[in-house]
Amino acid sequence: MERKLDIAGMTCSSCEAKVKKALLGVEGVKSAQVSHATGTAFIKGKTLPSDKALKQAIENAGYAMRKEKFPWGFVGLLSGAVVVFFATQSLYGSLTFDPTNSTVTLGLVVAYGLVSSLHCIGMCGGIAFSTSVSAQVKNPMRRVWQYQSGRILSYTISGIVLGMMGKVFTISPMFTNALLLVAGLWMIFLSLTMVKLIRVNLPEFNFLQGKKDRGPFFIGLLNALMPCGSLQTMQVMALGSANPLLGGGIMLVFGLMTAPSLISMQWLGARINAINGRRIQIVAAVLVALMGIQMTLRSPIVAAPLNDLVMNLTGQKTMAPIVDGYQTVNLHLDRGTYVLDYAAVKAGVPVKLTFSWEGITGCTNPVNLTFINRLVDIKKNPEPIVFTPEETGKLEIVCWMDMVRTYLYVK
């Protein structure tokens, strides 16, 4: 364990030596580093002594231990950041700005990039935050620029490739969903190391020449593979340009416009990392864990079985009523989510699936009815879909970007 102490009265190297000797004389302190310039001391030990014992030892040496000040102002800032992080996800779902229905211009790309910053905070903000908040971080600002350069580079390369190929290259949904799950679990693991519940040396990606930590750069590169609706919307625009330079330019500008929001998350992480208070580190670890849990639950690998469990425990699989010979079910697109008014139907009886919406975003429309292999654009063709489920099980309804989903259960 390590702890920082604030000590008053030290003026020279001789003072440092006296305080160090006093601290090492306290049972439980294995090592001590003292600085008269900063008025601080860092002590380490398997089990650190009480404040009373430390205070007595320092006073016997002729100095005084200042009480650790709790940074209430920063806690307020941190609390505000948490509110913004979760509120932006709800706010983004109410936006109806869809650039794919407009002519590509620099102003459009800039505007959509700024709007998408809200989504970036909710989707990748936790990843950006975790690149800067860790006990092992020595130069947080270098990690900020590494992560951003890797992210923007990967965006630009994807735009160039799309513009050059003139067709979509698809990445397996299973791969992107697994990547989302790994990212979430990594953040939960990181939070446990921050509070010393797990004691391991995290990998620093030092396999290239030199010994500098390049982890944030590679994390940034992987950002282009994340199942992000805003990112994939811009990649569709890059694809439509049919020009590698224009496609790369679109993605470069988009990356630059979304950078400030993610840099703010990284700055917050770096700011927390600069505070050595144990309580602040616990708060930071909890925040990272919450972001990691949220990201883990977004992955269908976890979300699908969890949804089944909740539905079974709560008995929410309400059977759809039969109207004029059809089991009638309505799918409502509400602020970036899918809501079914009835979650279950009977096998062998025709189903009429109707649609309604409020605040459609580029993420939720068109809707992919995977069980009949049909993509439905709710804006252009809101007519009901009729089908007959033949076997029991569950029918997946997912957005065209494989992000938003729900299930209709067949009994």
Cα–Cα distance for residue pair 261/269, rounded to 1 Å: 13
Cα–Cα distance for residue pair 358/96, rounded to 1 Å: 9
**What pLDDT, in 10s, does the model give residues 123-164?**
677 777 777 766 455 566 788 888 899 999 999 998 898 888
The pLDDT assigned to 142 comes to 80
Residue 43 has pLDDT above 80, yes or no: yes
Contact 151/265 with Cβ under 8 angstroms? no
Across-strand partners of 375?
A: 368
Least confident of 7-16, 248-257, 330-339, 396-405: 396-405
Concatenating the DSSP letter of every residue in 194-211 gives HTTSS---------SSSS
* pLDDT class of 110 with cuts at 50, 70, 90: confident
Element (H, E) at 184: helix 173-194
Query: What is the percentage of the chain residues whose pLDDT exceeds 70?
Result: 74
Residue 281 has pLDDT above 60, yes or no: yes
Q: How many CA atoms lie within 13 A of 73 on its CB side?
A: 3
Residue 409 has pLDDT above 50, yes or no: yes
The single residue listed with the structure tokens 């869809």 is 98
Cα–Cα distance for residue pair 161/44, rounded to 1 Å: 52
> Model-level pTM?
0.57
Cα–Cα distance for residue pair 231/14, rounded to 1 Å: 59
Contact 183/130 with Cβ under 8 angstroms? no
* pLDDT class of 206 with cuts at 50, 70, 90: very low
**What pLDDT, in 10s, does the model give residues 327-374?**
999 999 876 678 888 888 999 999 999 999 876 665 677 888 988 888
Residue 394 has pLDDT above 50, yes or no: yes
The pLDDT assigned to 169 comes to 54
